[in-house]
Chain A
Amino acid sequence: MKTIIALGFLSLVVAQDPPGTAPTAAEILAENINGQTVHEFRGYYKREHSLIKPYTGSGADIPNWNIIGSTFVSSNQIRLTADEQSKAGALWNTQPVWSRDWELQVSFKVTGSTGDLFGDGMAIWYTSEPNILGPVFGGKDYFRGLAVFLDTYSNHNGPHQHGHPFISAMVSDGSLHYDHDKDGTHTQLGGENTGCTAKFRNKDHDTQVLIRYVGDTLSIFSDIENKGIWNLCMSVNNVQLPTGYYIGVSAATGDLSDAHDVVSLKMFEQEFAHVERVGEADRRNVVPHAQFTASPRDHTDDARPSSLGWGGTIALVIVGVIVLVGGLGFGFVYFQKKNERQRKRFY
């Protein structure tokens, strides 16, 4: 009996420990950013992967960037979608990113005139195939690389139970489908509970997000309240991303709409000492892979709102028809007898 209790306790202790208990150097570096000012520059500024006002330089084109879809560039902002239905717009870099470790700081704004019904959201991409519009917040499904979703509309009230707008991430090698009906929790990086709720919609100021990939660790920070400090949103280690992919930002609206604006993009290359194993020096052929993702779940349609089914519906229709015919018959008989009574009186 004591041996059984001890074994149970030991297994409990073992089960409580996640794999890799010691925090890595990259995780410590990422945790130190939490609470730091957003104006601190870390690393080397990559001008060809950045975009700041007034965007167009001296001509009408944007150097190093390509706009597709409903994107509209003005002096103050890049409007990926206007506050209209069924729009999709994207902004893609034309230069591949050859930095192994990097930070991307995105300043954005989501506004809308409707109070409670708005959607769909934005996505920030690091993927192998740029300049393609698609169903995932204006980007391509079955992508290859990394996607960070700024999801403003909640499609599903159920297993994930988190509030929206929600910031989450996804790493795919081209074989994963983003399930919109489940808000992407089937393939979410770090699990379906990783990510954070960020109320970035309809703020009077620009909201910011920092995506940091250093030491095979992906960390996302946000500054939503314009306090000028970063708040840690999520941090997942053992994320393998190759070099040579493209940076992009996309947004989409469906039946519900919002205006999605990109104000600035800044890319910084970071220095990090890697322990290079044999064959790991060249990172361009690495398959995008993440060790910690949501456990696979099959796609099941949501339960239908009516529990009658077809038989119940048919029975209900039949009962309705019977009641209707009965009412008509009663009315007919009543008026006929009324006419007879009137004739009797006249007689």
Chain B
Amino acid sequence: MNSLTWILAVLFVTPAASYFIHVDANEEQCFFDRLTSGTKMGLMFEVAEGGFLDIDVKITGPDNKEIYKGERESSGKFTFAAHMDGVYTYCFGNKMSTMTPKAVMFTVEITEPHQQAPGAAANQDAADNAKLEEMVRELSSALMSVKHEQEYMEVRERVHRNINENTNSRVVMWAAFEAFVLVGMTVGQIFYLKRFFEVRTMV
């Protein structure tokens, strides 16, 4: 029986968070968020370690209907709007592997529906405050985006560094093997030629 692990990932008060999980072979890990109608949810994930760096992704709504289902994906970025209040579940499945665990880094970003202030601004100070608040919110959103991008690049840098170091180690071993074969052939040739110049005297 496949083990199903439910972990409360993101509380309502935390709009965005990053997580690094390990999904064992034949395992599926699910996380959920409670969303209200109209809220936008963004999910970004990247497979960092394991096998062919692929994972199965599934996003389910509160009515147990599939919002998205993807198989053997290495990375993805999805955005959707919550169509009803309830629990939205997203699962990472590693059922295609029999031995290899996978490491997945994912980020969940929840955007509340934009609360428009009712009515126009009463005076210039209120208008300036509203404009300032809007600009601060945009700056905060941009900084959060930069942070997510940096985490994403960090994971990619680690993956690419692993690939490059693996390639480099293989190249080094191959070079050592070539050197060994070269020295062996040289010594062999010397002894082989030496046999031709051995003179046996007949008495």
The residue in chain A whose Cβ has the minimal distance to the Cβ of B81 is A67
Q: Contact at A61–B149, with CB atoms within 8 Å? A: no
Judged by a CB distance under 8 angstroms, whether B155 is at the interface is no
Judged by a CB distance under 8 angstroms, whether A52 is at the interface is no
Judged by a CB distance under 8 angstroms, whether A331 is at the interface is no
- The interface size of chain A toward B, counting residues with CB under 8 Å, comes to 19
Q: Contact at B81–A75, with CB atoms within 8 Å? A: no
Q: Contact at B81–A58, with CB atoms within 8 Å? A: no
How far, in angstroms, from A57 to B83 measured CA to CA in the complex? 23
B residues near A55, Cβ cutoff 8 Å? 79
Tell me the chain A residues, 48-107 only, with Cβ under 8 Å from chain B. 54-62, 67-75, 84
The residue in chain B whose Cβ has the minimal distance to the Cβ of A87 is B83
The segment from B37-45, B174-182, B185-193 found at the interface with A is B37-45
Q: Contact at B77–A56, with CB atoms within 8 Å? A: yes
Judged by a CB distance under 8 angstroms, whether B168 is at the interface is no
Assuming the contacts A67-B79, A75-B76, asked whether A61 and B148 have C-beta atoms less than 8 A apart, the reply is no
How far, in angstroms, from A75 to B40 measured CA to CA in the complex? 16
How far, in angstroms, from A59 to B78 measured CA to CA in the complex? 10
Q: Contact at A75–B77, with CB atoms within 8 Å? A: yes
B residues near A71, Cβ cutoff 8 Å? 80-81
How far, in angstroms, from A75 to B73 measured CA to CA in the complex? 12
Q: Contact at B146–A60, with CB atoms within 8 Å? A: no
Q: Contact at A70–B76, with CB atoms within 8 Å? A: no
> Quick one: which of A54, A59, A74 contacts B148, CB cutoff 8 A?
A59
Judged by a CB distance under 8 angstroms, whether B141 is at the interface is yes
Q: Contact at B81–A60, with CB atoms within 8 Å? A: no
A residues near B40, Cβ cutoff 8 Å? 60-61, 67
Distance to closest chain B CB from A79 (angstroms): 9
Q: Contact at A73–B145, with CB atoms within 8 Å? A: no
Q: Contact at A59–B144, with CB atoms within 8 Å? A: yes
Assuming the contacts A67-B40, A72-B67, A72-B68, asked whether A62 and B79 have C-beta atoms less than 8 A apart, the reply is yes
Tell me the chain B residues, 55-74 only, with Cβ under 8 Å from chain A. 65, 67-68
Q: Contact at A54–B77, with CB atoms within 8 Å? A: yes
B residues near A62, Cβ cutoff 8 Å? 79
A residues near B146, Cβ cutoff 8 Å? 58
Q: Contact at B67–A60, with CB atoms within 8 Å? A: no
B residues near A61, Cβ cutoff 8 Å? 40, 42, 79, 109, 111, 141
> Quick one: which of A67, A68, A74, A84 contacts B76, CB cutoff 8 A?
A74
Which of A55, A57, A74 gathers the greatest number of chain B CB atoms within 10 Å? Answer: A74
Which of B81, B145, B148 gathers the greatest number of chain A CB atoms within 10 Å? Answer: B81
Contact with B along A112-152 (1 / 0, CB 8 A): 00000000000000000000000000000000000000000
Tell me the chain B residues, 34-56 only, with Cβ under 8 Å from chain A. 38, 40-44
The residue in chain A whose Cβ has the minimal distance to the Cβ of B78 is A74
Assuming the contacts A59-B109, A59-B144, asked whether A73 and B79 have C-beta atoms less than 8 A apart, the reply is yes
How far, in angstroms, from A55 to B111 measured CA to CA in the complex? 16
Distance to closest chain B CB from A306 (angstroms): 37
A residues near B107, Cβ cutoff 8 Å? 60
Q: Contact at B77–A60, with CB atoms within 8 Å? A: yes
Tell me the chain B residues, 129-168 only, with Cβ under 8 Å from chain A. 141, 144-146, 148-149
Distance to closest chain A CB from B86 (angstroms): 15
How far, in angstroms, from A69 to B82 measured CA to CA in the complex? 8
Q: Contact at B148–A56, with CB atoms within 8 Å? A: no
The residue in chain A whose Cβ has the minimal distance to the Cβ of B65 is A84
Distance to closest chain A CB from B158 (angstroms): 20
Q: Contact at A60–B76, with CB atoms within 8 Å? A: no
The residue in chain B whose Cβ has the minimal distance to the Cβ of A88 is B83
> Quick one: which of A56, A68, A75 contacts B42, CB cutoff 8 A?
A56
Distance to closest chain B CB from A263 (angstroms): 16
Which of B42, B43, B107 gathers the greatest number of chain A CB atoms within 10 Å? Answer: B42
A-B complex: 5 closest residue pairs judged by Cβ atoms? A60-B42, A59-B145, A73-B79, A60-B109, A58-B145
Apart from A60-B40, A60-B44, 5 more pairs, CB < 8 Å:
A55-B79, A58-B145, A60-B77, A67-B40, A70-B80
Interface residues of B (CB under 8 A from A): 38, 40-44, 65, 67-68, 76-81, 83, 107, 109, 111, 141, 144-146, 148-149
> What would 26 A/B residue contacts be, using CB atoms closer than 8 Å?
A55-B79, A56-B42, A56-B77, A58-B145, A58-B146, A58-B148, A58-B149, A59-B42, A59-B144, A60-B41, A60-B42, A60-B44, A60-B107, A61-B40, A61-B42, A62-B79, A67-B80, A67-B81, A69-B83, A70-B83, A71-B80, A72-B68, A72-B79, A73-B79, A74-B78, A75-B76
